[in-house]
Structure 1
């Protein structure tokens, strides 16, 4: 059955991290860099947004899925599959219509409830999302995807105990979904338990080794433990996997800044800003390092 995957979204990185104490080198400057990372932690919560892939909504792809529906219009699977394609393409209203139709045809289609919950979450309707995740779990009490999705809604609302409980339930079901570990790691990180956070990010990496976001998460916890070498390796690998994530470049710049290499820091912050002109940590980093670079 097609599932709408919200695994590692557009900004999974520096976004929700707790930053460490500054090193003694250039203390004042580094504290500013770390407070910038901390600001990102509270403003960029996108670990459960849908990664947009316009190809999923291409005319050719949608036409083929529509042909399947037309050949068997009473089959809810077809609508669920097309709804997933619409969702991945960012066409949320069309996705919602298809999931609604799938549920009209089969009111016990728990996967469609979870998929619709994801769409509601991306539309900024958490109460509707919770209702759908609850219904999915009522119909299928061991559905790990619904526990993770509901946990994400709770985490976004700041209800961390409830979110942790849902992630633990998914993990207790032996889920292979990396989001359960990654998002639990974010909570450990927020609570300052960086050893546990690193353990969970590492598990997420083992389950999804080609995703950049858990490397960013683990790197920030390494920074918090003053392990800049491992942090730098993780941030660099995140860039290798996906060079379009602004937070990866801003994280790399943070290490350069901690090391006092302001020229490279400025370059990386600038690149992050070119990728996402609204990304505040990159803006702050450029502002901090521009003057030092110009003075040299």
Structure 2
């Protein structure tokens, strides 16, 4: 039985999920006392990777019943619920994982992501802060934290978090991601409200490059009311040749 468990586990690292399922199933069959929880966890995770979400959840449930304190099973269960966009259940799963392993920064981070998806920004920030105590250089956590702060209109703190993300991983932080273009736009709004024209324009330009929808959004966003009629700002909105020349030289 142990040999099947170990081999199935090793196969998962090779992304051979079908073999992981087969070996875990054999281990479960040989478990006469019905006390082995690891093969259920391993098979559940493999099923998740193969898109079998419902079967995966059933295996994690069996794992919980045998050994309720096994935090990794709650972590993996959270992955499934997040994939299903069931963020309330995601939060419950990671809360259980945190209960049994409170120092796992990844569980705090993932629960924060679920809170963020539900627009529960204060809870998200609290979880991100806890995650950063375990891994202070996680640029993704800093980025998501800035999004939550932006939505609470805490623009100065949001800007600080975004700059920390850039500090720890400038290349990755600037790669396209639906959340990152949101942050650039948030920075543009912050500078617009402060009437810092050039900084607002530069950040808006970056947001538009990543996601063109912000060009139309900026035309009516009240954060830009005090600078919207400025020629530089108008140039970005209407893409004239002068704007392109300006940004090539600034």
Determine helix, strand or coil for the equivalent of 1:75. helix
Which structure is richer in relative contact order (CA contacts within 8 A, separation 6 or more)?
A: 1
Larger radius of gyration: 2
Deviation at 1:292, TM superposition (A): 4.5
Q: TM-score, normalised by structure 2?
A: 0.67
Deviation at 1:226, TM superposition (A): 1.1
2:205 is aligned to 266
1:111 is aligned to 38
RMSD in angstroms over aligned alpha carbons? Answer: 3.1
Over 3 Å counting, the alpha-carbon distance change for 1:157 and 1:269 in structure 2 is same
Q: 1:176·1:207 contact (CA, 8 Å) conserved in 2?
A: yes
Determine helix, strand or coil for the equivalent of 1:182. helix
2:126 is aligned to 199
Partners of 2:157 and 2:93 in 1: CA distance: 30
Greater helix share, 1 or 2? 2
Deviation at 1:145, TM superposition (A): 1.5
1:97 is aligned to 19
In structure 2, stretches of 5+ residues that fail to align are: 193-199, 219-235, 244-250
- Deviation string 1:50-77 (CA, Å, 9 cap, x unpaired) is xxxxxxxxxxxxxxxxxxxxxxx97235
Partners of 1:161 and 1:95 in 2: CA distance: 28
1:232 is aligned to 159
Partners of 1:155 and 1:147 in 2: CA distance: 12
1:28 is aligned to none
Q: 1:219·1:235 contact (CA, 8 Å) conserved in 2?
A: yes
Alignment of 1:244-283 (within 5 A): 244=172, 245-247=175-177, 249-258=180-189, 259-260=191-192, 261-267=200-206, 270=209, 273=210, 282-283=211-212
2:103 is aligned to 176
Over 3 Å counting, the alpha-carbon distance change for 1:86 and 1:238 in structure 2 is farther
Deviation at 1:99, TM superposition (A): 4.3
- Deviation string 1:152-189 (CA, Å, 9 cap, x unpaired) is 33344354443333222222223332333223323433
In structure 1, stretches of 5+ residues that fail to align are: 1-72, 88-93, 274-281
Deviation at 1:198, TM superposition (A): 0.7
